[in-house]
Amino acid sequence: MAFGLIIIGDEILSGRRSDKHLPKVIELLSARGLSLAWAQYVGDERERITETLRRSFASGDIVFSTGGIGATPDDHTRQCAAAALGVPLELHPEARVLIQERIRDMHSGADPIDLDSPENRHRLNMGTFPRGASIIPNGYNKIPGFSVGDHHFVPGFPVMAWPMIEWVLDTKYAHLHHATPHAEKSLIVFELPESTLTPLMEQIEHDFPGVRVFSLPSVGDATRGGIYARRHIDLGVKGEPEAVAAAFVKLREGVHQLGGDIVEPPVEGAKPGD
């Protein structure tokens, strides 16, 4: 099953906040032998969010959505998820209990808590989810996220969202962890343009079904120094480990035959000169 990520919020698109979810979700998936197939950013616009969710629900992918599940006027994700599914919003009974627990935790003073006050009744809106949803526990402040099928909705705050995503991965998808062996091998190529390498790349993918070739050209990065300061191409293969090993041999041989200058990329974490 493919994994997707939807990041919702005008503040990301306007630059008021920098997105931290994409690299973190990639990290969380990678630690479990999984990978992200796609990601999409969406502003706080109901029609666009609804259409995005309608497509993703139809995809059959496992999707995480961050942001927009609060109860302020710019939070639309809960309503849009219900609209995309064609179901009503309902107050989830477990969410009601958890939100009221949070209200009690935050109460100060000797006055009794009025759970029926307009303010506290409004807070219960954070527990209205599309009919049929289940909750995602929030260890930070008890206000839950929710899941509908293989779509999982969490807040935009990283301190809440990331542990909730981990909980979903480890609770619902443990059977997928490291289920597909994966390997990646690459080399740094100098003195050859991509146009010269393209036929070799096509031949590798033809000869090794399931292996994907990647090419990442660079004009040179003086800030990284070393081999990366020169114009180069990071050329490699990824896929099933045994097939990758064989394809990499052919890739290296092919680059040599084309007259390319090859350097092995440094081991991650190695010091200069290692």
Same domain, 154 and 198: no
**CATH number, domain at 258?**
3.30.70
Same domain, 94 and 220: no
Residues 108 and 209: their CA atoms lie apart, in Å, by 64
Distances (CA, A) of 19 to 6, 110, 157, 219, 255: 12, 41, 10, 26, 38
pLDDT value for 273 = 40
Same domain, 150 and 21: yes
pLDDT value for 274 = 39
| Averaged pLDDT in 10-residue chunks for the chain of 274 residues | 95 95 97 96 97 97 97 95 98 96 85 87 96 97 97 97 98 95 93 93 96 92 76 94 96 94 70 40
Is residue 239 included in any domain, yes or no?
A: yes
Same domain, 41 and 106: yes
pLDDT value for 67 = 96
Residues 52 and 248: their CA atoms lie apart, in Å, by 38
Of 176, 208, 227, which residue is a domain's last? 176
pLDDT value for 71 = 92
Positive or negative CA dihedral for 21, 6, 136, 146?
positive
Is residue 274 included in any domain, yes or no?
A: no
pLDDT value for 268 = 55
